[in-house]
Structure 1
Amino acid sequence: MRLKKGLAGIVLLSLIGFAAAGCAGNKGNEGEASSSSSQSPTQSQESGSASSEAPTEKTIYTMGVEESKLIWGGSITKKLTEKTGVELKYDAVLGDLFQKWDIWLAASDYPDIIRLDNEHLQKYIDAGAVIPLDELIDQYGPNIKAKWGDSLNLLKHDDGHIYSLYSVNATKEAPANAKAGFVVQYDVLKEAGFPTIKTLDQLYDVVKAYAAKHPKIDGKDTIAFGAAMNSWTINVFFNNAGISAAGRPDHGNFVVEDSGDVHWNPVSNYTKDYYKFMNKLFNENLLDKEAFSMGEQELKAKMAQGRVLAAYAPSWFSNPPEASLRAAELLDRQYAHIPVYFNESVSDHSNAMTIANGGTHEWAITANAKNPEKIIKFFDYLFSDEGQILTQWGIEGVHYELKDGKRTQTAEWVKQKLADPDAIFKEGFRSEYTGQVTNWFSIGDGAKLADGDFATPITQESVRSEYDEKTLEVLDKYGISTWADLLPPVEKVPAYLWQLPPPSDSKFKVVDQKLDDLRRKTTSQIIMAKDDAEFEKLFAAFVASAKDIGLDMYEESFTKIWKDYLAEYNATLSK
């Protein structure tokens, strides 16, 4: 069922305001005593409070993660172990994450807890590699049920079982730390007189002028515009960028029309127009010459060096390089986050919000895990109000203090975060993501707990308190308080297409792989075209080849998935 199956819950939640590697199965549990239900705190479903009685025995569970900076042993994670008796042994995946997931599955050698996207989750379900969670949640998950409410059905698959958990979005508006996807260096804007930039042509003009005047930055070649195509990054820098410039909601590699018809975005006019922009950059030596061969870490490293003037780089991607720039006191090399469009007539609907954040970051318990009851109790604690405060706010007196009965980050902790970009990892505030950019099953920035206070410290005041003087200066030049002020109003969408499971038949999978191979083979050729005539010829040939592969069937399959979901959703709304 997945999303399309939990419609009664979706409607109710809408009405109440949106109230890895090398893990040899369960080896992380060797020598550890199993726990019973009495060893984990008992939470109240109404208040989300947890018992102060801590488990007497500790169990170590393995978890493969993508983020290499995650550690267990900071003040937050130590407190989690104290409260739940669970310790996670992080093992960072090196190389291609999707390939690693497949290798684990093929060898039946996966960690106790695994984070998957919905496509790989289905593979694991089909292989019996992950266990159903619904009965465990029913017995040991009062806080999970309380936070999800009737929308717990949202988590169910077609067989009626729940196999994964992720963050539920209880927020009513965009968080104060939301940012546009395109970024431009402060110094570029300063030299140009802090101009208004709304279009790709205006962005092109300012970076071209700056690059011509500053061909090198700190002895290294200036990169006017950065991008990366290796592995999954092609979806961000060569797909999502065009969708953003068109002001469309992020349905992944797809465009969903108002009619419900679904189209593969790589063959759309949005992609063609964006490729044309990149072709212009390439032919004037403004596009990174290594854009077609490098991936995530290489681009982040170049941005952290301060020599990438502009890029499409959403905050989840640009935040780490910016933290490094601040640590190196290269404040002028930080980035303004500006909405940029194909033209000034674009109507921006990109600032969309869904009810839940599943699809790519779903936590599951594998068949190798011993005593899964204890893992569910651990998850349940994370969903409790006490767990939310601990993982999002930290420890009282260290990370936050109470002022007039409200939680406020301490000045010392704010300074520590600004001085050390890895402080949030060291303290344990970061986990493997549990939906979009949320950690530890956050219920969302702007959401409130039972005590009436915010679930996370992300407010306009807290966001501004963490800005350095250079950022405040740039914001003042544009007459705004935070980068979120540049975004359009939030629009609620029933779901993102990428949150729905793709078709599972073998014919579809063959077409899917061939289309991906075609895109990867031809994208660089199109963008490197020497003139307009060659560009048009190559793009037309790409579209024709996609149709020959089976594009029509591919789009029809996704259209059916989307329309079936909407039909059920709308039918429930009308009841």
Structure 2
Amino acid sequence: MDWKKNAWLLSLLSALLLVLAACSDDSKETGSTDSGNDTTEESDNEENESNGEIHTYDFFDGSGPGEDINTSETTLGKMFEEETGVNFDIEHIVGDVNQKIGTMIASGEYPELLNAEQSTDAVIDAGGFIPLNDLLEEHAPNIMEMYGPYLEFMKRDDGNIYIIPSGASHGFVKPANLEQGGWWIKRDVLRELDYPQPETLDDYFDIIAEYTEANPQIDGANTIGFTALTHDWRFFALSNQPNHLAGYPNDGGIMVDTETLDVSVYGNKPETERWLEKLNEVNAAGLFDQEAFTQNYDEYLAKITSGRVVGFFDYRWQVGQALDTLYQDEDFYNDYMAFPVVFEEGIKDQYLDPVGFAASPGMGITTGTSEEDQVRIIKYLDHIAKEETQKLVTWGVEGETYEIEDDGRYYRTEEQIAETRNTEFRDEFGFSYFEWGWPRMNGLYPDGNAVEPPKQPEVATLMYDEGDKEFLEAYGIETFTELFSEPDERPWFPAWDTPIETGTPAQLYEQQLDDLMKRKYPEIIFADPGEFSTQWEAYLDEFEGLPYEEYEQVIQESVERKVEIAEKAAEAAE
């Protein structure tokens, strides 16, 4: 991002802070601990009210699978328990998250803290989350400061804030390694084919076809040319591609014209037809994974780590568990490299997210939680939002997981980098459980250090091992995101976080489209090429019966509202 963009962002943040400033016991007790110290007198007094008691609360995290654990079993969680007198029993999703949340809604029984993921709106509509406005104003100065520029975005139509999302942007920092979507190819494939650089969709699948033809088996098992993630709510990892291939960022199921702000769905557009026709062609060539529509999330990750998959599209944050495992493999050629593939030359890729704010999903306190426990939980979350705690969550402990130069710049040694990328260490320390999901900022700290260590130049330059350096040199780049274009400014980004009321035509469209895609995409992709047009028309006929215009209208209003807020902030800053 150039200096003008940085200036625009800083003006926006400053102005919003000024505008907002102008507007302005059922717990389980299990032991005792000493209270810690805080940076503010108010926080000191409030946190010391625990009287040495430990309060344990239930937290259901619907964002993904994981090991169920009490936060105090991690290094970070234990520190936070000692400082706040609170810990959480974390339960992760197993199976269908919508079904799990639906059961909670039907019974009216919730854990005290809940991340309902894509069912967030349903829980809000059912009255499952309490309004947080008063709690934030009275007990959460750190959250108010961190999310200050975005508080207006967090409010629902009734003016209430129900959830705290993870990720309040404070400046743009281009990552050294891809964190978002990309077209991944196994490094061994790239090496064998003399390091090709795919730019178009045809280029990408030509590489897969050439390698698979020459290597029909890998380690005695059939080679999988291209696999896809379609399980449960993660189906977007297959359905979002037309958007990306056409040069748009991850705004969800819609495209937004940057000039007119016009919103349109693309599930019925030529871009989607073009994408599905390509997959139909790929399948006919024997390159598409026949289990793509039946495998679950864990099976998908396991397949990637098996070494049999030549390529796939996905978001780094979603497939990170598999890629982290491969990174620790002694054979670095089993790892993958991502490329910013588009439909055709001349399209500017937009895989790197612009500065934006997703107001949903996030974590909220549920009804049925006593007032005393509400206060304890919000104070805990506020403790997480403190700058020094944020640095613990992202960088760790000085002298153990990072160092500080005399000029105040943070860095990691090669040994610390290796340790903090080790899955077992990350679990034990607590990075795996606290790094995302809780109140969290990204971008830059006030002292100029990057929030995320991999985005700190002093760390990025040391993160690359010999295998990384081989591929960086082969492609003539210094970082793996150098191949990706800088993101364009989009004040509404991301559009997919728009609150949609349960039972409305717009919400029905989302569910009906999901059902339609899961039913028809396999038929389209696995069809004989001669039947593609017939299958596409059958899908299109059903799509046209969906209330997509109502959905477009809801997103349109949200986009315009966000842009209006941004424009007012920019005007106030002048």
CA drift of 1:98 comes to 2.1
State the match for 1:517 in structure 2. Answer: 515
What amino acid does structure 2 have at the position aligned with 1:57? Answer: E
Q: Secondary structure at the match of 2:240?
A: helix
State the match for 2:202 in structure 1. Answer: 201
- Equivalent in 410, 420, 423 of residue 421 of structure 1: 423
What amino acid does structure 1 have at the position aligned with 2:397? Answer: I
Alpha-carbon distance in 1 for matches of 2:230, 2:262? 28
Q: For residues 134 and 250 of structure 1, do their structure 2 counterparts lie closer, same or farther at Cα, with a shift above 3 Å needed?
A: same
Q: For residues 154 and 138 of structure 1, do their structure 2 counterparts lie closer, same or farther at Cα, with a shift above 3 Å needed?
A: same
What amino acid does structure 2 have at the position aligned with 1:95? Answer: G
**How far does the alpha carbon of each residue in 1:148-189 deviate from its partner, in whole angstroms, 9 at most, with x for none?**
235433322222221111221112233333355110111111
Alpha-carbon distance in 1 for matches of 2:471, 2:414? 23
State the match for 1:343 in structure 2. Answer: 344
For 1:230-249, list aligned pairs within 5 A: 230-237=231-238, 239-249=239-249
- Do the aligned partners of 1:352 and 1:493 also contact (CA within 8 Å) in 2? no
Alpha-carbon distance in 1 for matches of 2:516, 2:474? 45
Alpha-carbon distance in 2 for matches of 1:479, 1:67? 38
State the match for 1:288 in structure 2. Answer: 289
Aligned length, in residue pairs? 546
- Do the aligned partners of 1:50 and 1:386 also contact (CA within 8 Å) in 2? no
Greater displacement, 305-314 / 467-476: 467-476
CA RMSD of aligned residues (A): 3.1
State the match for 1:22 in structure 2. Answer: none
**How far does the alpha carbon of each residue in 1:117-155 deviate from its partner, in whole angstroms, 9 at most, with x for none?**
4x6333323333211111111111111122223543332
Q: Secondary structure at the match of 1:364?
A: strand
What amino acid does structure 1 have at the position aligned with 2:131? Answer: P
Q: For residues 16 and 481 of structure 1, do their structure 2 counterparts lie closer, same or farther at Cα, with a shift above 3 Å needed?
A: farther
Alpha-carbon distance in 2 for matches of 1:519, 1:570? 37
For 1:22-41, list aligned pairs within 5 A: 29-32=27-30
Alpha-carbon distance in 2 for matches of 1:491, 1:422? 37
Q: For residues 120 and 497 of structure 1, do their structure 2 counterparts lie closer, same or farther at Cα, with a shift above 3 Å needed?
A: same
For 1:270-349, list aligned pairs within 5 A: 270-349=271-350
Q: For residues 260 and 402 of structure 1, do their structure 2 counterparts lie closer, same or farther at Cα, with a shift above 3 Å needed?
A: closer
CA drift of 1:503 comes to 4.5
State the match for 1:5 in structure 2. Answer: none
State the match for 1:23 in structure 2. Answer: none
* Percent of aligned positions that are identical: 26
State the match for 1:400 in structure 2. Answer: 402
Alpha-carbon distance in 1 for matches of 2:240, 2:185? 17
Alpha-carbon distance in 1 for matches of 2:341, 2:150? 36
State the match for 1:160 in structure 2. Answer: 159
**How far does the alpha carbon of each residue in 1:431-457 deviate from its partner, in whole angstroms, 9 at most, with x for none?**
377xxxx4543311x4123x4433332
State the match for 2:229 in structure 1. Answer: 228
**How far does the alpha carbon of each residue in 1:401-456 deviate from its partner, in whole angstroms, 9 at most, with x for none?**
222233322443322245x33321221012377xxxx4543311x4123x443333
State the match for 2:257 in structure 1. Answer: 257
**How far does the alpha carbon of each residue in 1:238-286 deviate from its partner, in whole angstroms, 9 at most, with x for none?**
x222222211121111122343332222212221111122111100110
- Equivalent in 469, 477, 494 of residue 480 of structure 1: 477
Q: Secondary structure at the match of 1:492?
A: coil
State the match for 1:6 in structure 2. Answer: none
TM-score normalised by L of structure 2? 0.87
The unaligned stretches of length 5 or more in structure 2 are 1-7, 19-24
State the match for 1:60 in structure 2. Answer: 56
Greater displacement, 64-73 / 295-304: 64-73
TM-score normalised by L of structure 1? 0.87
The unaligned stretches of length 5 or more in structure 1 are 1-8, 20-25
Q: Secondary structure at the match of 1:486?
A: coil
Q: For residues 52 and 364 of structure 1, do their structure 2 counterparts lie closer, same or farther at Cα, with a shift above 3 Å needed?
A: closer
Q: Secondary structure at the match of 1:198?
A: coil
**How far does the alpha carbon of each residue in 1:454-493 deviate from its partner, in whole angstroms, 9 at most, with x for none?**
3332323313423332122111111112212111113231
Alpha-carbon distance in 1 for matches of 2:533, 2:41? 60
Q: For residues 120 and 274 of structure 1, do their structure 2 counterparts lie closer, same or farther at Cα, with a shift above 3 Å needed?
A: same
CA drift of 1:335 comes to 0.6
Structure 1's consecutive aligned runs of 4 or more residues displaced over 6 angstroms after TM superposition are 16-19, 48-54
Q: Secondary structure at the match of 1:130?
A: coil
Say if 2:456 is the partner of 1:457: no
State the match for 1:387 in structure 2. Answer: 389
What amino acid does structure 2 have at the position aligned with 1:146? Answer: E
Q: For residues 32 and 306 of structure 1, do their structure 2 counterparts lie closer, same or farther at Cα, with a shift above 3 Å needed?
A: same
Q: Secondary structure at the match of 1:163?
A: coil
